[in-house]
Copies of this chain bind each other. A is one copy, B any other.
Amino acid sequence: MKSKYTTIIDIAKQLNISKSTVSRALTGHPNVKEHTRKAVMELASTMEYQRNSLALGFSKHTTHTVGIMVPEFMSTYFPSVIVGVQDVMQAAGYNVVICQQNESYETEVANMKLLLSYRVDGIIVSHTKETRNFDHFTLAQRRGVPLVFFNRVPDELNVPNVIVNDYEAAFQAVEHLISIGRRRIAHLAGPDALVNSRLRRQGYIDALKKHDIPYNPDLVLSYDLTTEKVKIYMKHFLDLGTPPDALFAINDPTAIAAMEVVKAKGLRIPHDIAIVGFSNDLSAGLVYPGLTTVAQPTGEIGRMAAEMLLQELNAKVKNDYSIKKAPTTQLPTKLIIRESTVAKTN
Could you list which residues of chain A lie within 8 angstroms of chain B, going by C-beta atoms? 1, 3-5, 48, 50-55, 57-58, 61, 63, 65, 73-74, 76, 79-80, 82-83, 86, 90, 95, 97-100, 102, 110, 113-114, 116-119, 139, 142-144, 256, 282-283, 286-289
- Give 5 CB contacts A-B under 8 Å: A48-B142, A58-B58, A86-B100, A97-B98, A286-B286
CA distance A79 to B57 in the complex (A): 29
Please tell me if the beta carbons of A61 and B3 are within 8 angstroms of each other in the complex: yes
Contact of A283 among B51, B54, B80, B282 (CB under 8 A): B282
Contact of A116 among B50, B99, B289 (CB under 8 A): B50
Please tell me if the beta carbons of A53 and B100 are within 8 angstroms of each other in the complex: no
Please tell me if the beta carbons of B76 and A80 are within 8 angstroms of each other in the complex: no
Kindly report how many copies of this chain are found in the complex they form together.
2
Please tell me if the beta carbons of B100 and A114 are within 8 angstroms of each other in the complex: no
Q: A55-B58, A98-B100 are in contact. Are A48 and B139 (CB under 8 A)?
A: yes
Contact of A102 among B76, B83, B98 (CB under 8 A): B83
* Smallest CB separation, A45 vs chain B (Å): 12
Residues of B within 8 A of A144 (CB): 4
* Smallest CB separation, A103 vs chain B (Å): 11
Residues of B within 8 A of A58 (CB): 52, 54-55, 58
- Say whether chain A's binding surface is mostly helix, strand, loop, or mixed: mixed
Residues of B within 8 A of A286 (CB): 256, 283, 286-287
* Smallest CB separation, A86 vs chain B (Å): 7
Contact of A117 among B52, B73, B76, B100 (CB under 8 A): B52
Contact of A73 among B79, B90, B99 (CB under 8 A): B79
Residues of B within 8 A of A1 (CB): 61
Residues of B within 8 A of A287 (CB): 286-288
* Smallest CB separation, A315 vs chain B (Å): 15
Using CB atoms, name the residue of chain B closest to A4.
Answer: B144
Interface centre among A74, A82, A289 (most CB of B within 10 A): A74
Using CB atoms, name the residue of chain B closest to A2.
Answer: B61
Please tell me if the beta carbons of A119 and B54 are within 8 angstroms of each other in the complex: yes
* Smallest CB separation, A293 vs chain B (Å): 13
* Smallest CB separation, A121 vs chain B (Å): 12
Please tell me if the beta carbons of B98 and A54 are within 8 angstroms of each other in the complex: no
Residues of B within 8 A of A98 (CB): 97-100
Residues of B within 8 A of A55 (CB): 54, 58
Using CB atoms, name the residue of chain B closest to A50.
Answer: B116
CA distance A4 to B144 in the complex (A): 7
Contact of A74 among B3, B117, B282, B288 (CB under 8 A): B282
CA distance A247 to B176 in the complex (A): 39
Residues of B within 8 A of A57 (CB): 54
* Smallest CB separation, A176 vs chain B (Å): 22
CA distance A252 to B113 in the complex (A): 37
Please tell me if the beta carbons of B117 and A50 are within 8 angstroms of each other in the complex: yes
Interface centre among A54, A57, A63, A118 (most CB of B within 10 A): A54
CA distance A82 to B78 in the complex (A): 14
Residues of B within 8 A of A82 (CB): 73, 100
Please tell me if the beta carbons of B86 and A54 are within 8 angstroms of each other in the complex: no
